[in-house]
Amino acid sequence: MKTYLDEIIRWHLDEKITADLNENEILRISSSTSPSKSFSSAIISQENISVIAEIKKKSPSLGYINKEVLVGRQALRYKRGGAACISVLTDGNFFDGKNEDLLTVRSTVDLPILRKDFVVRRSDVFESKVIGADAILLIVAALSDSDLKEFISLAKELNMEALVEIHDLNELDRAIDAQAEIIGVNQRDLYTFEVDRSRALKLAEQIPNTLVKVAESGIKDRSDIIELESAGYDAVLIGELLMKSEDCEAELRNLMVR
């Protein structure tokens, strides 16, 4: 049976590469410059659980969430609302994102930025560096063990971090074997796009405390965040709720109020 994830990964693998990326030159520049803004440090430096606020215009299951969003303005509102980091969807075919969205956020705010996309090739990692990402998303379900390990290592060489996304214990074991340092538990099943809001809680105790823990998807209100914080999560990634809000800055503040 064809699934959302199968379709998305196939499209990305078939996508034509047009950017002229000189890997050696990018590595040379990265090694001679100061590190990117630390995604993990921004998360764990917060006194309480952090929020990674996401800019997501559309999803395959919901269609458009906020088609007319002004990306730079949304990023400023997220910063004023207290977000620790910003996640930017750059997938164009399924999420109506683009690299220019991340570049706009990069030029607008000084928060660490996660490039939220489907990294399936080395060139995707290099491209993420070129457009200004501080961290990349690596989905265990979409990668072989060798690619996962290689992309985590390559991101480090480029002074970026990797949020390694899992959905079950098997994927957690694979992420740990690949030397992941930030684990994201996505409560949305990428095959059906249905949300299981208990998934992050079930997996929390299985994630070593030496790793940064992020809960993704299905977070609806402050009570969800309190529960996830109590379970040991360092951050929550929230997109749909904030993108639908008429005042995302106030929404963020309400989510974070103690």
186 in active site = yes
Angle, CA 106 vertex, CA 100 and CA 109 arms, to 5°: 135
* Cα gap 75→110, rounded to integer Å: 10
79 in active site = no
32 in active site = no
Tokens 């080395």, residue? 122
170 in active site = no
Q: 110 with 37: CB under 8 angstroms?
A: yes
* Cα gap 180→67, rounded to integer Å: 34
127 in active site = no
24 in active site = no
Active-site residue (options: 40, 50, 66, 186): 186
Active-site residue (options: 127, 217, 240, 251): 217
What token pair was written down for 55?
Answer: 């800019």
Active-site residue (options: 161, 216, 240, 249): 216
Active-site residue (options: 56, 57, 58, 129): 56
Active-site residue (options: 127, 161, 165, 251): 165
What token pair was written down for 72?
Answer: 């730079």
Q: How far is CA 152 from the centre of its chain?
A: 14
Q: 91 with 120: CB under 8 angstroms?
A: no
41 in active site = no
Active-site residue (options: 36, 54, 99, 251): 54
Active site positions, annotated? 54, 56, 116, 165, 186, 216-217
